[in-house]
Amino acid sequence: MINTLKILKHQGNQFIKDVTKVVLQEPFHGRPVISNVKVDEFELINLCPVGAIKTQPIQIDLGKCTFCSECAIKFPDKIKFTADYKISTNDPLSLIIKEGVDKTIELNPGLIRQEISSFFHDSLKLRQVSAAGDNSAELELNAAGNVNFDIGRFGIEFVASPRHADGIVITGPISENMAMPLQICYDAVPDPKIIILCGVDAISGGIFSDSPALNRKFLDKYKVDLYVPGNPPHPLTFINGVLDLIKKRK
């Protein structure tokens, strides 16, 4: 008993008091900023391993970006990854970062369905489906629930059964072999329900996007409520995105 108390005392306070105000330090790779400096555009586009960079104007699609930061290493005057981790959004257009624009990424309130904020504001139960995820985004989602980040304090929780859930969080590029289980799981969630895509693999397929072993037809059928970019996304990216979705962030 004494030893248990000692352990408790030695831990101190581990939780992050305000998860919406944490400042991460570089070299964390968060929201990129693209300057107006002129560079060899062909070389820049060719460098990107996943075709996330396009021109006119030069832009990076965070839904495709694996955050390898090779572009920033090779073109440090042109591209810089800031430590801004608040990059979740419900609008795919907000995922596209254009040159010369240094603006925070936010959710588009007009796209949030009325029932999401009214039903889920104080309690949101989620079912996680790993559809060929590589276990990195899964590890970070688990971390979101640990004593440091403690997502449970907001009434947000991962549950074991889709029957108990208000929505699903998909990780991984969605393999052909997981397509049916994913559909069955989604169908088992009662209405109204939300879909969150967590990580670059889920949003665009990432490095696997042109693999014939994927089947992403599920995503053609339903509206996605939240995109959480990253490879894997930082727990704070996920938490802040979800808080915005249920209008909990002050």
Helices (H), the chain: 2-11, 41-47, 70-74, 114-120, 136-144, 176-188, 200-204, 218-221, 235-245
**56 is a site residue for other proteins (CB under 8 A):** no
DSSP string covering 28-71, please? Answer: ---SEEE-S----HHHHHHH-TTS-EETTTTEEETTT-----HH
**180 is a site residue for other proteins (CB under 8 A):** yes
Q: Which of 34, 53, 67, 165 binds other proteins (CB under 8 A)?
A: 67
Residues of span 205-244 touching other proteins by CB under 8 A: 206-208, 210-214, 231-232, 234
Q: Which of 49, 100, 152, 190 binds other proteins (CB under 8 A)?
A: 49
Closest CB to other proteins among residues 18, 210: 210
What gap in Å lies between CA 67 and CA 28, rounded to an integer? 10
In the complex, minimum distance from the CB of residue 97 to other proteins, in angstroms, rounded to a whole number = 17
Question: Total residues at the site for other proteins (CB under 8 A)?
Answer: 68
In the complex, minimum distance from the CB of residue 160 to other proteins, in angstroms, rounded to a whole number = 4
Q: Which of 104, 153, 160, 221 binds other proteins (CB under 8 A)?
A: 160
Sheet holding 53-54, edge to edge: 53-54, 59-61, 96-98
**81 is a site residue for other proteins (CB under 8 A):** yes
- ∠ at Cα 219 (216, 221), nearest 5°? 120
**11 is a site residue for other proteins (CB under 8 A):** yes
Closest CB to other proteins among residues 101, 139: 139
Residues of span 124-143 touching other proteins by CB under 8 A: 127-143
Closest CB to other proteins among residues 47, 96: 47
Residue 242: phi, psi to the nearest 5?
Answer: -70, -40
Contacts of 15 (CB under 8 A, 6+ apart): 147, 148, 149, 150
Cβ atoms 82, 25 nearer than 8 A = no
What gap in Å lies between CA 53 and CA 98, rounded to an integer? 10
Closest CB to other proteins among residues 65, 95: 65
**26 is a site residue for other proteins (CB under 8 A):** yes
What gap in Å lies between CA 150 and CA 153, rounded to an integer? 6
**77 is a site residue for other proteins (CB under 8 A):** no
> Contact positions toward other proteins, by CB under 8 A?
3-4, 6-8, 10-11, 14, 24-29, 47, 49-50, 66-70, 73, 81, 127-143, 146-148, 158, 160-161, 172-173, 175-178, 180-181, 185, 201, 206-208, 210-214, 231-232, 234
